Amino acid sequence: MYTILQKERLNPTVSKMVVSAPKVAKKAKAGQFIILRVHENGERIPLTIADYDREQGTITIIYQIVGRTTMLLDQLTVGEAILDFVGPLGKPSEIEGLHKVCVIGGGVGCAIAYPTAKALYENGAEVTVITGFRNKDLVILQDEFQKVCKDLHLVSDDGSTGKQGLVTNVLEELIQNGEQFDEVIAIGPLVMMKFVCQLTKKYEIKTVVSMNPIMIDGTGMCGGCRLSVGGKTCFACVDGPDFDGHAVDFDEAISRSSSYRNEEQHAREATCNLLNKEA
Amino acid sequence: MANMANEKVKMPVQDGIVRSGNFDEVALGYDEAMAVEEATRCLNCVNRPCVSGCPVKVKIPDFIAEVAKGDFKKAYEVIHETSSLPAVCGRVCPQETQCEQKCVRGIKGESVAIGRLERFVADWYRKNCKDALPKPQSNGHKVAIVGSGPAGLTCAGDLAKLGYHVSVFEALHVAGGVLMYGIPEFRLPKEIVQHEIEGLKQQGVEIECNTVIGRSESIDELFEEGYEAVFIGSGAGLPNFMNLPGENLKGVYSANEFLTRCNLMKAYQEGVDTPIQRPEKAVIVGGGNVAMDAARCAKRLGVKEVSIVYRRSMEELPARKEEVEHAMEEGIQFCLLRNPVRVLGNEEGWVKGVECVEMELGEPDESGRRRPVEKENSNFVIEADCMIMAIGTSPNPLIRSTTEGLDTNRKGCLITDESGKTTREGVFAGGDAVTGAATVILAMGAGKTAAKAIDEYIQNK
């Protein structure tokens, strides 16, 4: 039983859950993900492991309420259980040998960026973090990031919190001010990662991105999560989710991510109606 | 005196047009009278050639003799002695190239309908006998099985019968492997698969789902936990693609993805959350059973035109004849001696057509089949908004990349001897993980052989 031990709303659309999953916790590493299913007729969705506690046997997940499954997940309360919860899946992030790293999190991508920043920090690296959000209401994990980095930069699209601008503005400023990063790790919306990669390519800084495509099994079986990396087809679930950002075909990934947009919208509306009725 | 009718008793089936609109089982099964009548066609020959054609060595003439007598329960017990999954085998085994191919009655007419009889017996037992078979006495030894597909379940069943404490680890949320995610409901109802698995549980087999060996736990850790041997039956899960331009367009799927959405996740049903595309025109690439399954699922999802594109001719089509016939009856089109070269997309990134070339057959290649050769300047386009690649699968690298001492061949298949022993002590393997994509019954045969080898290994330790 994957019992929910804690649940916290981080912003109006993002929640955090601490789930009892001792076997997953025993093996989890930064960069890996789990797949969960909420009910018997539910779909399987991948979520990145935001944190883990091997002793307590818990996994922390942070999810944005975007569609039917995350809405249903968000209906569950402390003490209730998630039906299926499998992991850790994917390859852990490679953090060895990195001394000076810039970790960039965009929106709910911060949930994935945080464990990576933490792992780097615990491994002795000097970590700079840039987080970007649409507005002040959506900001998450600032206290957590603060504890695992040298510098924390916050930007928002509308300037309602932190500096107004994009994560790429801050990154370029840092680079121009002479910061020399071994690597940039960017995790967030596909468009953000694409532009970070364009920028770092210009400055020839190795950049790793974490891809989160549509997935069913998460073990290499369905091929739904495939993407082109350096002209080769890779499966995000077994070859990733981390990839060399300069080799990823982002336009293709952006296109593929919309494969079920109509169906998803339908399901979301139906679920909204259902939940409203129940409320 | 045997019933000397030259033809099998006909199998009642759902009408082709009707069934192409539903996911209910195609073949409806014999009733008791039909089964008894068919059973009397068996000559009960002394040298039992049929048994030699069965990878799990079901005592075919013995069970058929019980059917002829009307003792269906006894017939089931005879099958169950050697086969853990009779209701599955009776449905999906290629009997025509195995037991039935060896049947003496096949020389002058049609062979005895062994598969149909096996299915009848298993179905009869499921409906009429609710009592669990007695649980074997424990011998105190623990064996771990990786993967709950046909190889793993058979190995588990055989070891459990010998008194082993067997734990099966399954990556997905439900046990059954390809029987659940791959083979469609209309060929193998999932309720039947689960019933067979319940039977194994009653025999003491433990199944732990949501456990990915290689990630959740390693093979080494299984040994540390006290398992004395490990059987790897993790299948050949990784779908192959052709690396065609446009293959990553929206609307292009591996057969695994399409079938998993449809079968495992039940996307064809109302009230189920997993989405599936419902295209107008689908092209399925490949000629095996998986291609037939994908095509027939697409038809049932309401796709108006479903075409199978295969690079050789009808004669070389690797799918079972029965499946091909069923597909044709359901209105699936066969574009033979054709091969895709490019996938065409629209401005939104969706497939709009598949560019193909015509092929002709040249000299035989290493597989013994005539090698298809492209005809120059024969390119043409099939309009389609969905393309499904059913051109085979490769073994999943997860276990070999996380386990020391397991040798694989260049295709990534685990290397074993004929008893299923891998290059690492105490580790056995069988099924698609060893052979690459093959059939359910061959995987079951391998699971059975390995169970015997595991028993010998542990008893001689």
Q: Which positions ≥6 away from A85 have C-beta within 8 Å?
A: A2, A19, A21, A24, A34, A35, A36, A59, B210
Answer whether A219 sits within 8 Å of B398, measured CB to CB: yes
Q: Which of B387, B392, B379, B412 is nearest to B305 (CA)?
A: B387
Q: Are B16 and B331 in contact (CB under 8 A)?
A: yes
User: Looking at residue B218, what is its pLDDT?
Assistant: 94
DSSP A8-48: EEEETTEEEEEEE-HHHHHH--TT-EEEEE-STTPPPEEEE
Q: φ and ψ at A198, to 5 degrees?
A: -60, -40
Q: Are B443 and B420 in contact (CB under 8 A)?
A: no
Q: 3-state class of A239 per DSSP?
A: helix
For A13, half-sphere exposure in the C-beta direction (CA atoms, 13 angstrom radius) is 13
Report the C-alpha gap between B324 and B321 in whole angstroms. 5
Q: φ and ψ at B40, to 5 degrees?
A: -75, -5
Q: Would the pLDDT of B171 be above 70? A: yes
Average pLDDT over residues B227-248: 94
User: Looking at residue B1, what is its pLDDT?
Assistant: 64
User: Looking at residue B79, what is its pLDDT?
Assistant: 95
User: Looking at residue A71, what is its pLDDT?
Assistant: 92
Q: Which of B304, B355, B314, B311 is nearest to B337 (CA)?
A: B311
User: Looking at residue A278, what is its pLDDT?
Assistant: 65
Beta-bridge partner residues of B281: B305
User: Looking at residue B293, what is its pLDDT?
Assistant: 96
Q: How confident is the model at residue A130 (pLDDT cuts 50, 70, 90)?
A: very high
> Which amino acid is residue B164, in one-letter code?
Y
Q: Is the dihedral of CA B199, B202, B206, B210 positive or negative?
A: positive
Q: Which of B45, B109, B120, B42 is nearest to B79 (CA)?
A: B120
Cβ of A258 under 8 Å from any chain B Cβ?
Answer: yes
Answer whether B248 sits within 8 Å of A258, measured CB to CB: no
Mean pLDDT of chain B: 93
User: Looking at residue A262, what is its pLDDT?
Assistant: 84
Strands A81-82 and A2-11: antiparallel
Q: Would the pLDDT of A279 be above 70? A: no
Q: Would the pLDDT of B444 be above 80? A: yes
ω before B86 within 30° of 0 (cis)? no
Q: Are B26 and B187 in contact (CB under 8 A)?
A: yes
Q: Would the pLDDT of B278 be above 60? A: yes
User: Looking at residue B227, what is its pLDDT?
Assistant: 97
What does the pLDDT look like over A202-232, one tens digit per residue? 999 999 999 999 999 999 899 999 999 999 9
- Which residue in this structure is represented by tokens 């960039």? A104
Q: How confident is the model at residue B69 (pLDDT cuts 50, 70, 90)?
A: very high
Q: Would the pLDDT of B388 be above 90? A: yes
Report the C-alpha gap between A93 and A48 in whole angstroms. 12
- Which residues in chain B touch residue A33, judged by CB atoms under 8 angstroms apart? none
- Which residues in chain A touch residue B178, judged by CB atoms under 8 angstroms apart? none
Cβ of A126 under 8 Å from any chain B Cβ?
Answer: no
Report the C-alpha gap between B329 and B316 in whole angstroms. 20
Cβ of A216 under 8 Å from any chain B Cβ?
Answer: yes
> Which amino acid is residue B219, in one-letter code?
I
Exposed / middle / buried, residue B306 (Cβ in 10 Å: 0-12, 13-18, 19+): buried
Supply the angle between the helices B150-161 and B440-459 in degrees, to the nearest 10: 40
User: Looking at residue B193, what is its pLDDT?
Assistant: 94
Report the C-alpha gap between B20 and B22 in whole angstroms. 6
- Which residues in chain A touch residue B215, judged by CB atoms under 8 angstroms apart? 27, 87-89
Query: What DSSP designation does B8 have?
Result: P
What does the pLDDT look like over A22-65, one tens digit per residue? 999 999 999 999 999 999 999 999 999 999 999 999 999 999 99
Q: Would the pLDDT of B56 be above 80? A: yes
Interface mutation vs chain A, best among B148, B167, B170, B173, most A CBs within 10 Å: B173
Show the 3-state SS of B80-124. HHHCCCHHHHHHHCCHHHCHHHHCCHHHHCCCCCHHHHHHHHHHH
Q: Is the dihedral of CA B31, B36, B41, B47 positive or negative?
A: positive
DSSP B252-318: EEEHHHHHIIIIIS-TTSTT--------SEEEEE--SHHHHHHHHHHHHTT-SEEEEEESS-GGG--
What does the pLDDT look like over B401-440, one tens digit per residue? 889 899 999 989 999 999 999 999 999 999 999 998 888 8
What does the pLDDT look like over B341-362, one tens digit per residue? 999 999 999 999 999 999 999 8
Q: Are B110 and B427 in contact (CB under 8 A)?
A: no
Q: How confident is the model at residue B119 (pLDDT cuts 50, 70, 90)?
A: very high
Cβ of A233 under 8 Å from any chain B Cβ?
Answer: yes
Return residues 235-264 of B near A (CB < 8 Å).
Answer: 237-239, 241, 243, 247-251, 253-254, 256-257, 260-261
Q: Using alpha carbons, list the distances in angstroms from residue A135 to A14, A145, A146.
A: 14, 18, 19
Cβ of A264 under 8 Å from any chain B Cβ?
Answer: yes
Q: Which two three-digit tokens encode residue B226?
A: 């006290």
Q: Which helix (H) or strand (E) holds A53?
A: strand A45-53
> Which amino acid is residue B262, in one-letter code?
C
Beta-bridge partner residues of A37: A84
Q: How confident is the model at residue B230 (pLDDT cuts 50, 70, 90)?
A: very high
Average pLDDT over residues A174-192: 95
Q: Would the pLDDT of A277 be above 80? A: no
Q: Which residue of B has its CA nearest to A257?
A: B250
Report the length, in residues, of chain B.
Answer: 461
Cβ of B397 under 8 Å from any chain A Cβ?
Answer: yes
Q: Would the pLDDT of B133 be above 80? A: no
Give the percent of chain A with pLDDT over 70.
99
Q: Would the pLDDT of A68 be above 80? A: yes
User: Looking at residue B237, what is its pLDDT?
Assistant: 83
Q: Which of B67, B12, B62 is nearest to B39 (CA)?
A: B67
Q: Which residues of B273-293 are buried (b: 16+ CB within 10 A; e: fewer)?
A: bbbbbebebbbbbbbbbbbbb
Q: 3-state class of B368 per DSSP?
A: coil
Q: Are B169 and B234 in contact (CB under 8 A)?
A: no
Q: What's the gap in Å between the CA of B405 and the closest CA on chain A?
A: 21
Q: Which of A133, A131, A136, A20 is nearest to A78 (CA)?
A: A20
Quick one: CA torsion of A221, A227, A228, A233, rounded to 10 degrees? Answer: 0
Q: Which of B170, B156, B240 is nearest to B412 (CA)?
A: B240
ω before B318 within 30° of 0 (cis)? no
Mean pLDDT of chain A: 93
Q: Are A120 and A184 in contact (CB under 8 A)?
A: no
Q: Are B237 and B260 in contact (CB under 8 A)?
A: no
Phi-psi map region of A10: left, alpha, beta (phi>0 left; psi -120 to 50 alpha): alpha
What does the pLDDT look like over A98-119, one tens digit per residue? 999 999 999 999 998 999 999 9
